[in-house]
């Protein structure tokens, strides 16, 4: 059984929904998830110009990959987030709270502003590491 111990020398990040670090013990499987974006099952960009909808679909796609590996959001031990407009992304981070809050999971996270993503119409991308 995997055990998670939060490491927070200060508490400000908890208000934003993530731990500064976590000690992970007892995991036997790791899943590295590539960047998930707002694309359909054929890889076509969706929700052009709509950051909120792109974040939502990116999270749906992340959950689909996790499910295919027999995992869920509670297995995530690290998130990497990339946005072409950090301020607009942060306005919509309640979407993270709605998904991670109920399961009381606050994985360490990094949010980076980028000039563009691999496909120009995409505004948001999320990658993850999960363990079970």
For the chain, the domains span 29-131
Give CATH for domain 29-131. Answer: 3.30.1330.40
Stretches in the chain below the pLDDT threshold 70: none
- Give rounded-to-5 percent helix, strand, coil for the chain: 30, 30, 40
Closest CA to 81 of 124, 19, 24: 124
Q: Is 88 exposed, middle or buried (0-12, 13-18, 19+ CB in 10 A)?
A: middle
Write out pLDDT tens, residues 20-48.
999 999 989 999 999 999 999 999 999 99
């Amino acid at each position: 059984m995997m055990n998670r111990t939060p490491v927070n020398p200060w508490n400000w990040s908890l208000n934003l929904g993530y731990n500064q670090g976590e000690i992970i013990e007892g995991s036997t499987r790791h899943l590295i998830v590539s960047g998930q974006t707002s694309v359909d099952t054929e890889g076509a960009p969706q929700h052009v110009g709509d950051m909120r909808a792109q974040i939502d679909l990116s999270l749906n796609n992340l959950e689909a990959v996790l499910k295919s590996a027999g995992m869920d959001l509670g297995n995530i031990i690290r998130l990497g987030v990339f946005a072409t407009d950090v301020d607009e992304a942060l306005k919509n981070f309640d979407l993270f709270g709605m998904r991670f809050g109920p399961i009381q999971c606050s994985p360490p996270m990094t949010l980076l502003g980028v000039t563009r993503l691999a496909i120009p119409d995409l505004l948001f991308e999320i990658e993850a590491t999960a363990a079970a």
